[in-house]
Structure 1
């Protein structure tokens, strides 16, 4: 079962990494701003193809070797899981290495051909676009939080029936493999972690809803489609993930009070269904947003370009701009949001909850 789970996750990571250059914002090639007039440059298209083929070929070989090794040896689930996790990080590192290589090549190509110098920089603002924003209202994210608080109260009300050893971790097979002595804190530890995660997602949703909508002067309709699509689908996707995580962790919490819930195939199937649902949701989200600015063709008749803000992007991945009030901005390589690292509020929303979860896990 561990092989099946890690094979699905690893294959998913490989597919997403291969697709990223074709899903990223069309005027951001390997994290470098490229004017609309040059996004179909033959060299840039070659770079994207080389990246996809290289990452795909290496991923195929490594996944094949992993499956061959796992099937040829009589291994424990823990061994398969450990090597599987190493393989997943290896694939991410490999794709990142290729990204950095082609990021540098794209930057050199842009400077060599003086693409930005030949065009006049223009900034576009459309005040009406906010009225078209279809993001979910923030209050819907309170529903899972209320549910978790109720589950926490229910757990304390049934404290006497809880086992003396409280499970704190579950393996790939759905079986608990780590425990803590029974106490009021350990009894609600899982619900506390869930509550922190839900609060973090709520904070991210509010921050992204307040983020600026950046439009392109040379691809106004395409950029509008992407910005509105990113905001709409990311809010729905985050809510879907929150609901899925809430249902999974609530199920695990309830099995401590009602052990019969984990009998039969339930403890095995529920985590697998959760994993597959989240992976499919992630893929749909990435494709929906990634293609949203590729389907609109606009003829750029003037010698203009958008503002070049490469100076604020370190390596095309990390955004530092003190003049931008947005806490989160659209990624340049990939689909979704990244932090404006010059805004300290972003650190509080993302890193503070992670620190709290780590502390709770080790108390």
Structure 2
């Protein structure tokens, strides 16, 4: 890889990771559902308490300092060794740092909760389920249009691969360096080579399917959400805003993935004659996709922040203490709950119920795949 491409690629990678984690650290409490601050449910009137503000300030200060230090260290390592696995370790280290600092803040928040004693104010409150409320308040449907378009693009990629297979040379380029030069071929005379060629469109369809399933789970789950963590207006607005954002983000990512994989298919099958041109197009699509994700994440943070800021203080507030069900304020652990998935306490989306045996089996399998992939990356010297 020449110096220019090296600086462009790794520079963009490092800056993106840095900005993403700094943004998450500074807005972590705007990236969750109603009423949660560092893993603890806090009634509206206590959210601006000076003790809570102090915890928030300390978390943000430590996050910025540690993220900056880690970024400098890993930047030196990445540019010196030029290995993708170092970038992967960088990301995992940042994630671990976020979890660690969040758990420390959660511990401090629980102390404040005991000192103020807001739990006693709500001990006789009962849950009310959204499914028993006005249907118009949760009737957002999944926007299928972009998922369908993405899937059709993925099918087009598969059709092109099938049609062009017989006319392809015995050795088909499947991997390129950052100068656009081929550094790995697939021998389509072998079964393994054919599988490798078809892996691109199949992977495209699989990722799109996962994106749709994630959106579908969010849609089904929200119909039975129990009111907790704010006023009715707050919860309703955050639910609707979050679902729409997840729907738009997942369908948008599906489109980008489908187009990206189609471009790779065009390059492998020779429709795009220049390998360097194919590489440049895939890089541009990747950059646009990352920017799209960042913009939508920022939009969601701003929306949730504004909803919590302008709540109606005269409306009744729903609060029930479920903090003990989340270890370190992050991981849901409830053996009595038969659900495999649960809403995240830290961030938007779903995580596993670590008190469920089936969920643990799935987690172990996923961890094995993840660790194996990382080990293979190191062994291959990527």
The normalised TM-score by structure 2 is: 0.78
Alignment match of 1:14 (pick from 9, 21, 45): 21
Partner of 1:99: 102
Residue 310, structure 1, aligned to residue 323, structure 2: yes
Distance 1:294 1:347, change over 3 A: farther
- CA deviation after TM superposition for structure 1 residue 142, in Å: 3.3
Secondary structure at the counterpart of residue 119 of structure 2:
coil
Deviation by residue 1:173-212 (Cα, 9 ceiling, x = unmatched)? 6655444321432221111122211221222222111013
Distance 1:197 1:218, change over 3 A: closer
Stretch deviating more after TM superposition (127-136 or 30-39): 127-136
Residue ranges of structure 2 left out of the alignment (5+ in a row)? 1-7, 378-382
Alignment match of 1:338 (pick from 351, 354, 363): 351
Deviation by residue 1:237-261 (Cα, 9 ceiling, x = unmatched)? 0000011011101110111112535
Residue 165, structure 1, aligned to residue 171, structure 2: yes
CA RMSD of aligned residues (A): 3.6
Contact residue 208 and residue 328 of structure 1 kept, 8 A: no
Alignment match of 1:63 (pick from 68, 71, 93): 71
Distance 1:69 1:327, change over 3 A: closer
Residue 200, structure 1, aligned to residue 210, structure 2: yes
Deviation by residue 1:264-297 (Cα, 9 ceiling, x = unmatched)? 54412x2333333233222233233333232422
Deviation by residue 1:51-93 (Cα, 9 ceiling, x = unmatched)? 111111222233345546667xxx46x34x4433333322222
Residue 122, structure 1, aligned to residue 126, structure 2: yes
The normalised TM-score by structure 1 is: 0.81
Partner of 2:313: 299
Residue ranges of structure 1 left out of the alignment (5+ in a row)? none
Partners in 2 of 1:262 and 1:294 — Cα distance?
52
Deviation by residue 1:86-136 (Cα, 9 ceiling, x = unmatched)? 333222222221111111121232234322123332323442255553343
Contact residue 103 and residue 330 of structure 2 kept, 8 A: no
Residue 285, structure 1, aligned to residue 296, structure 2: yes
Partner of 1:42: 50
Secondary structure at the counterpart of residue 40 of structure 1:
coil
Residue 142, structure 1, aligned to residue 148, structure 2: yes
Contact residue 40 and residue 323 of structure 2 kept, 8 A: yes
Secondary structure at the counterpart of residue 117 of structure 1:
helix
- CA deviation after TM superposition for structure 1 residue 232, in Å: 0.8
Partners in 1 of 2:252 and 2:175 — Cα distance?
23
Partners in 2 of 1:90 and 1:355 — Cα distance?
18
Contact residue 316 and residue 332 of structure 1 kept, 8 A: yes
Partner of 2:139: 133
Matches within 5 A, 1:214-233: 214-216=226-228, 218-233=230-245
Partners in 2 of 1:175 and 1:35 — Cα distance?
59
- CA deviation after TM superposition for structure 1 residue 228, in Å: 0.5
Partner of 2:253: 241
Matches within 5 A, 1:251-290: 251-258=263-270, 260-268=272-280, 270-290=281-301
Partners in 1 of 2:207 and 2:44 — Cα distance?
39
Residue 88, structure 1, aligned to residue 91, structure 2: yes
Secondary structure at the counterpart of residue 246 of structure 1:
helix
- CA deviation after TM superposition for structure 1 residue 319, in Å: 2.7
- CA deviation after TM superposition for structure 1 residue 7, in Å: 2.0
